[in-house]
Amino acid sequence: MPCARHDHEYERNVTANLFMMFAPLEDWRHVKVTERHTAVDYAHILKYLANTHFPHAKKIVLVQDNLNTHKTASVYEAFPAVEARRLVERFEVHHTPRHGSWLDMAESELSVLSSQCLDRRIPDRQTLTDEIATWEADRNKNNAKADWQFTIDDARIKLKHLYPVI
């Protein structure tokens, strides 16, 4: 007698984008859940950082990857020129190397988030937002630190070609 065949179909409920903001010297992180990851979404994240979290900072040092939306032009696309210029001038932007397997601190935090909070299917965007907010509040309250192991001495060895010979 042959076995009955059962077919299981994967049903995707909803997708979301996570913007991870991380200030390691403050032991602060914030995750913004958005529907997409567009240039305009990115520009609004920069505005949030500048106006809400760092309102009094003259210069904000921003380290980010080289994603095509992570450009100052994104800010000019999203806001009027005067507002865009005001925002852009507050950021000192550094990019992780294009050709390398560098894992930046924000990606490390995303890895922690994935293992502690996103290790299962989440039914909808609101539940995702609520659970991430709880995770974020807990990490911030406990002053969770980034365990960055790359020292200046390591840099002088691995990045020898960048250091001048005296």
Each of the 166 residues of the chain gets a pLDDT tens digit; together they read: 567 777 777 677 778 999 999 998 889 999 999 999 999 999 999 999 999 999 999 999 998 887 888 888 999 999 999 999 999 999 999 888 776 555 678 888 999 999 999 999 898 999 999 999 999 999 999 999 877 777 778 777 777 777 777 7
Give pLDDT, residue 75.
96
- Kindly list the structural domains of the chain, giving each domain's residue range(s) and its CATH number in brackets, ordered by start: 17-162 (3.30.420)
Give pLDDT, residue 5.
75
Three-state DSSP string of 63-119: EECCCCCCCHHHHHHHCCHHHHHHHHHHEEEEECCCCCCCCCHHHHHHHHHHHHCCC
Q: Phi and psi for 105 in degrees, rounded to 5?
A: -65, -35
Give pLDDT, residue 157.
79
Does the CA dihedral 32-34-38-40 come out positive or negative?
A: negative
Give pLDDT, residue 102.
58
Q: DSSP secondary-structure letter at 130?
A: H
